[in-house]
Amino acid sequence: MTVRTAAVRRGDEWRALLAAGITVLLWASAFVVIRDAAPHFSPGALALGRLLVGSAVLGAFLAVRGEGLPPRAAWPGILGSGVLWFGVYFVALNWGEQWVDAGTASLVVNIGPILIALLSGWLLGEGFPARLMTGVALAFAGAGVVGLAGSDAGRAPLLGVLLCLLAAVGCATGVLAQKPALGHASALQVTTFGCAVGAAACMPFAGVLVHDLAAAPTRAALGMVYLGVFPTALAFYTWAYALARTTAGKMAATTYMVPAVVVLMSWLLLGEVPTLPALAGGALCLAGVAISRRTARTERTSPQKDASPANSDLAAETPGPPAANPPRRPQQGEFHEEENPDGLRR
């Protein structure tokens, strides 16, 4: 099937790029904060804690915006992304990092964007643009160099590797589930209810969370709150905002900027001077993302074709307002096409 993206005007394009940049920055900061907070929480408790905080923040924002429940058509994608991405990914990654070093975990988890690019090209009808595939491969190579530069020389336990691989699969399948939902509901709705579904899936860890919070130092508890407010609530919302305006493959490639930003933030905030391989890997990540993002500029120069499903992605990325349709009063219960507060045509 082919999944339409939102109609993108020139101003929307820059806002989407800014949203993706915010996502990358906040997700990179999560790796730094988790280092300090994770030793005081079990994997499930840490996931549940940040999801509860994130759900509260997103729910308050949803109420202020006056957005209600998503339409029925969006719920399969919301449930899928909530369980697989917010639930499975968070718990599996936290658990896997207890068995393997951060470098190995980063290397394995970064298989996720490759899976997203390949599966979205197949299942979502996004195709396999040569520049995107080249950029993803180059960025993954850079992420691998960064991961190997930070990994221990010893052999990683198989369980830890499998858990990180499970996290990568959860992330990829969660994004594939989320993308179609954004064609029916706003980015805020999809993120809010996806986060709430993930929190519900992690509720079996509630008792452990209460126990860990009682024993954790204030610094670790505040770190968990930070993870819920910024890398979860804000970053996942800006991710969904940008994903609604581009293809899943291009957004996946953009996440390869995270390892490079982590290297820089660890240097500035933790005083960890990066090695030459880490710097080289970060440069490869940035080069790969730049190549993959050039695809969008190339496509935007192509003339807009007919509005058939096969050409819907191309039409959605063409600058200028969408073709106007005669106004029509929607019938009761009809899900009509309009522009929601996030600019998504649905």
State the pLDDT at residue 37: 86
209's tokens: 């969370």
State the pLDDT at residue 119: 80
173's tokens: 């399948």
Single pTM value for the model: 0.74
State the pLDDT at residue 273: 67
Q: How many Å from the N-terminal Cα to the C-terminal Cα in the chain?
A: 17
Give residue limits of the domains in the chain: 10-299
Backbone dihedral angles phi then psi of residue 61, each to the nearest 5 degrees = -65, -40
* CA–CA dist 307, 325 (Å, integer): 13
Query: Tell me, what DSSP letter sits at residue 273?
Result: P
- pLDDT tens, per residue, the chain with 346 residues: 555 554 445 556 688 889 999 998 998 888 778 878 888 999 999 999 999 999 999 999 999 999 999 999 999 999 999 999 999 999 998 888 788 766 667 667 777 788 888 887 777 777 777 776 777 777 677 767 766 666 554 555 778 778 888 988 999 899 999 999 999 999 999 999 999 999 999 999 999 999 999 999 999 999 999 999 999 999 999 999 999 988 887 787 777 777 778 777 777 776 766 677 767 776 777 676 677 656 444 444 443 443 333 333 333 343 444 444 555 554 544 444 344 444 444 4
Report how far apart, in Å, the C-alpha atoms of 49 and of each of 27, 127, 232, 236, 309 are: 17, 38, 11, 16, 41
State the pLDDT at residue 295: 45
What sign does the CA torsion over 315, 320, 326, 328 have? positive
State the pLDDT at residue 34: 83
State the pLDDT at residue 161: 78
State the pLDDT at residue 10: 57
State the pLDDT at residue 140: 73
Q: What's the burial of 340, exposed, middle or buried (CB within 10 Å: 0-12/13-18/19+)? A: middle
The three-state DSSP-derived secondary structure of 165-204 is: HHHHHHHHHHHHHHHHHCCCCCHHHHHHHHHHHHHHHCHH
